[in-house]
Amino acid sequence: MKSTIKYLISAMLIVSANVAIAQQQGDASKAAQPIQTSDSGWQLICRPMQPERTKLMCAVVHETFAVKDRLRVLAVEIVKNQKITNMIFSTPIGVDIKSGVEVLTDGGNRQQAQFSNCQANTCLASVEVNSKFMDSLQKAKVISVTFADAQGGKVKVDLSSAGLALALAKAE
């Protein structure tokens, strides 16, 4: 129950946006295709926790936008508390929820997040990550996040880890 409440609070930190991803066709749609993107970089966002509003809940957030139309393609949120660290992914609707979200560092460390729900304009996936994976995220130059669209085409977003370690340090 506490985990569900924390997940819902964390999910509220991600700002929803309508996102459209062009359908990829042919045999090439099965391979992960990079999207030309711009991003926000890693940012620290803190908000008062409900209902007390005396404590802050902080998350490190990275949003990626399609260059063509400035629509959000992916938001990644890292939320730490005393015992666990969760990564939460916000994708556009129209994803294959069964396949989940894969995170891969250039060091070869991999995590798989499962989708938990979809709302009007976003689908949410999360995974609890251990300290070893967090270390690999901070040491990586590139963090690749891949998910499948409803037609089975892979959507791949490469994130720079520049600024991640500093934002995580500020979150503590």
Q: What is the pLDDT of residues 114-170, one digit of tens each?
A: 999 999 899 999 999 999 999 999 999 999 999 998 888 999 999 999 999 899 888
For residue 107, is it left (φ>0), alpha (ψ between -120 and 50) or beta? alpha
Higher pLDDT, residue 49 or 119: 119
Strands 154-160 and 32-34: parallel
CATH entry 3.40.50.300 includes domain 2-16+30-171:
no
Per-domain residue ranges of the chain: 2-16+30-171
Least confident range of 1-5, 53-57, 138-142, 159-163: 1-5
Task: Report d(CA 48, CA 10) in Å as an integer.
Answer: 12
Backbone angles phi, psi at 17, to 5 degrees: -145, 145
**The whole model's pTM is what?**
0.76
Please give the pLDDT value at position 137.
Answer: 92
Confidence of residue 27 (pLDDT cuts 50, 70, 90): very low
Please give the pLDDT value at position 115.
Answer: 96
- Given a cut of 90, is residue 79 above it in pLDDT? yes
Backbone angles phi, psi at 5, to 5 degrees: -65, -45
Q: What is the pLDDT of residues 59-76, one digit of tens each?
A: 999 998 887 778 888 999
Mean residue pLDDT across the chain: 79
